[in-house]
Amino acid sequence: MQGDRSNPSKSVAWHPDGHILASCGDSNQIWLWDVRRKECLKTLQGHSNWAVAVAWSPDGNLLASGSQDHTIRLWDLHTGKCLKTLSGHRNIVWAVAWSPDGKKLASGSEDQSIKIWDVAIGQCLETLQEQRSVLVVDWHQDGTLLASGNADQTIRIWDTYTGQCLKILQGHTNAIWAMAWSPDGQTLASGCDQTVRLWDVQQGQGVKTLQGYSNSVFTIGWKPDGRILASSSGDRRVRLWDVQQGQCVKSLTGCHRFWGLAWSPNGKILAIASFDAMVRLCDPDTEQCLKTLAGHHAWVWAVSWSPDGQILASASNDKTVRLWDASTGDCLKILQGHSSHIWAVAWHPDGKTVASGSDDQTIRLWDARTGDCLHVLTGHTAWVKSVAWSPDGKTLASGCDDQTVRLWNASTGECLNILQGHGDMVRTVAWCPDGQILASGSEDRTIRLWQADTGECLNILKGHISQVGSVAWCPVEKADHSDRILASSSADETIKLWDASTGECLKTLRADRPYEGMNIAGVMGLTDAQKATLKVLGAVESD
């Protein structure tokens, strides 16, 4: 079954009869699928922003959906019409769940609250206040208890009649996106940070942790000398790679997942953005954390150094950009104006302006000295995931979930060109050192090289087998550009180095997996499925 390729599913829910599947993704629409015929039965339209959660009523007649437009909608299965719109949340509704008797609906939101709704009359019966965003909710079979999974890494058990929080379950090291009660109601399963944890709810204790494995490479950054490449990955490590040798020479470990990273201009400090709302300044040589910058209230996605290395900018899910004094760790300014999460931040080469890209589909240009917003660039129709200034500072490039790259006049805010060709979301953009070529990486698994002045696509680099999360040009090259190298990172757990002139992949860097190099040839008792799993984790089968 395949709907709009540009809108991958973020939430799916089976109808109680097992023959219909509801799905929603990066779109205002919800799709109902006939699983047997592999056909779309209905498309539900009405939300004014992306739908991110769906859940069927126990009798299968109604579908509830939560959206980034801050509302919940109740849909009639047979007609496809919206019967009710539940309003009251002040931010994204991440989760919806029906009570076992189908009379109530629980919703969890980015506004740090859970609401309990009377479905028949569409009124909010109770609001349960959380400390952080609520990402998942699930009813106990008795219809009284409700479990919530949160961005603060905790699970809370609520008595929905009294509104009391009965227990707080702690142990996860990241935001919790999935939960389910056991059939007997005694055990709760929760998932995040590559683990599934099983909880004895009565005792309030974890009874088992099931460990998974994932090592997607999120972000990469070249050291200014062009010899070392830093990468952040899903195993909560930042790795330093000797590019010439193709080997990992150092690994920095943290308790929380790292995302964005950036080298200071002198190459002595590595700034690392983290999901615990912190920014860390690390000395890569000693592996010591020099400073922890605290102040953000949600995940930090991106960091960028001012050209003189004195100020660091950070972008966060709390809708702010913060400017930090790198020597003291003090927060100098908080740039506010975006209405949703901020994915990207970049300094202008002159050090006077900061650009930020957001889920609110805009790019803002800020005066770094005063904190004033100079321009709001509009035109993208989805989340803006990446921004990058041309080396001469005259043009800003942006990559977006609407599958396009836009080039903007930095002085006027005018859109100069729209680069189209990617078949999925554009996650990353980067200028080559001389500003003639722009690289873009996408969830379509490719990197495109664009002639900056004409917008022509010069080459498509193929080789990754999953989404491309980051691209970065080697800062050092010959005068004739004969050794122009581009690095790319991917959810396929690899970093690739490309010859930008020929499009050839020069080298693939990969961290060792749990069973790297283990030869399972001739091993008895393994099923085909077990062999396949071991190979994914690094095992080989050779005589």
pLDDT digits (tens, 9 = 90+) for 81-110: 999 999 999 999 999 999 999 999 999 999
Q: Where are the domains of the chain?
A: 12-135+142-170, 177-253, 258-426+456-466, 514-542
Beta strand spans in 38-103 (E): 39-44, 51-56, 62-67, 72-76, 82-86, 93-98
Q: What angle do CA 3, 23, 363 make, to 5 degrees?
A: 80
Q: Which pLDDT value is given to residue 525?
A: 84
Q: Using CA atoms in the order 252, 256, 259, 265, what is the torsion angle rounded to 10 degrees?
A: -50
Per-residue pLDDT of 170-188, as tens digits, reads 988 778 889 999 888 899 9
Q: Which pLDDT value is given to residue 108?
A: 97
Residue 154 vs residues 105, 177, 208, 398: alpha-carbon distances, Å: 22, 11, 16, 35
Least confident of 183-187, 207-211, 457-461, 498-502: 207-211
Per-residue pLDDT of 386-425, as tens digits, reads 999 999 999 999 999 999 999 999 999 999 999 999 999 9
Q: Which pLDDT value is given to residue 7?
A: 46
DSSP 334-398: EEE--SS-EEEEEE-TTSSEEEEEETTS-EEEEETTT--EEEEE---SS-EEEEEE-TTSSEEEE
Tokens of 202: 């009565």
Mean predicted lDDT score pLDDT of the chain: 91
Beta strand spans in 463-524 (E): 468-473, 485-490, 494-499, 505-510
- Among candidates 358, 401, 394, which has minimal Cα distance to 6? 401
- Among candidates 232, 230, 233, which has minimal Cα distance to 241? 230
Q: How confident is the model at residue 4 (pLDDT cuts 50, 70, 90)?
A: very low
Region 242-258: mean pLDDT is: 82
Q: Which pLDDT value is given to residue 5?
A: 40
Per-residue pLDDT of 154-172, as tens digits, reads 999 999 999 999 999 998 8
For residue 1, pLDDT over 60 is answered with no
Q: What is the DSSP letter of 530?
A: H
CATH topology of domain 12-135+142-170: Methylamine Dehydrogenase; Chain H (2.130.10)
pTM of the model: 0.73
Least confident of 42-51, 108-117, 491-500, 518-527: 518-527
Q: How confident is the model at residue 499 (pLDDT cuts 50, 70, 90)?
A: very high
Domain pair 12-135+142-170 / 258-426+456-466, same fold = yes
CA distance 280 to 321: 16
- Range 174-191 burial, b when 16+ CB lie within 10 A, else e: bbbeebebeeeeebbbbb
Q: Which pLDDT value is given to residue 537?
A: 81
For residue 8, pLDDT over 70 is answered with no
Cβ-proximal residues to 412 (8 Å cutoff; 6+ apart), any chain:
none
Amino acid at 156: R
Percent of the chain with pLDDT over 90: 72
CATH topology of domain 258-426+456-466: Methylamine Dehydrogenase; Chain H (2.130.10)
Does the domain at 177-253 match CATH 2.40.10? Answer given as yes
For residue 326, pLDDT over 90 is answered with yes
Q: Which pLDDT value is given to residue 218?
A: 85
Q: Which pLDDT value is given to residue 255?
A: 53
Per-residue pLDDT of 278-315, as tens digits, reads 999 999 999 899 999 999 988 899 999 999 999 999 99
Tokens of 360: 């609110």
Amino acid at 16: P
